[in-house]
Amino acid sequence: MSSRPAAGGGRWVEVDPARLARWLDGFATRHGPPSFTIQEYGIHLHAPDGSSAELHSPPGLPPFADLPGFVAAVAAPRRLGLLLARKASVAVGIAHGGELVVSKVDTRYVQSRTAAGGWSQQRFARRRDNQAKAAAGDAADLAARLLLPEVGSLAALVCGGDRRTVDTILATPRLSPLASLRSPHLLDVPDPRHAILEAAVARARAVRILVRDP
């Protein structure tokens, strides 16, 4: 379980599906048995001492009717597509439950920024933009090859890395079936590598919880 401060107060925690029931028991022990309401984002808990917890539904979660249904739905295996991208690096995969069953990582050279000025700087910027566009094109090809044939079986597409790069890749018209499955939450990941892709599976399945104390 990871934890970090939340903008506006409180803290975000990420809880593995297998540990969610235990986390809920701990919340009730610390703050008193909470009441719950179903919200657009998932479930809101309100404890007798004034503490609250917003449980955000993981990507691709099926419908649920109550808190036990939410816990059961979170634990059920789902098939997720993953697209992680930063500038010239991309990692594409498919996870079933907690297992990465399909994966491919690719890196293409894109020049770093330079402090040079004048016409030289302009030529450099054009060259760099062309390299970045070519890298995004290659990433779109990779996503199309690995994910499009499986799009009908995917509950959601989870993305991570640089939002602008991801947006550029998914703007490719032939990837529109994938873009329609995109989860709004962007994973914060470093340059995609196979180990990063494997770690992203657990984060994609985790329940994000915003906890606020009175």
Q: 69 with 86, same domain?
A: no
Q: 98 with 166, same domain?
A: yes
Q: What is the CATH number for 196?
A: 3.30.420.60
Strands lying side by side in the sheet with 89-96: 99-107, 89-96, 79-86, 156-161
Q: 57 with 85, same domain?
A: no
- Summarize pLDDT for 178-195 with one digit per residue, the tens: 999 999 999 999 999 999
Residue 151 reports pLDDT greater than 50: yes
Q: 108 with 150, same domain?
A: yes
Q: 69 with 102, same domain?
A: no
Mean pLDDT of 109-115: 47
Query: pTM value?
Result: 0.87
Q: 68 with 83, same domain?
A: no
Q: Which domain holds residue 10?
A: 2-77+206-212
- Summarize pLDDT for 11-65 with one digit per residue, the tens: 999 999 999 999 999 999 999 999 999 999 999 999 999 999 999 999 999 999 9
Q: Which residues pair with 208 in a beta bridge?
A: 14, 56
Number of domains in the chain: 2
Q: 67 with 127, same domain?
A: no
Q: 194 with 88, same domain?
A: yes
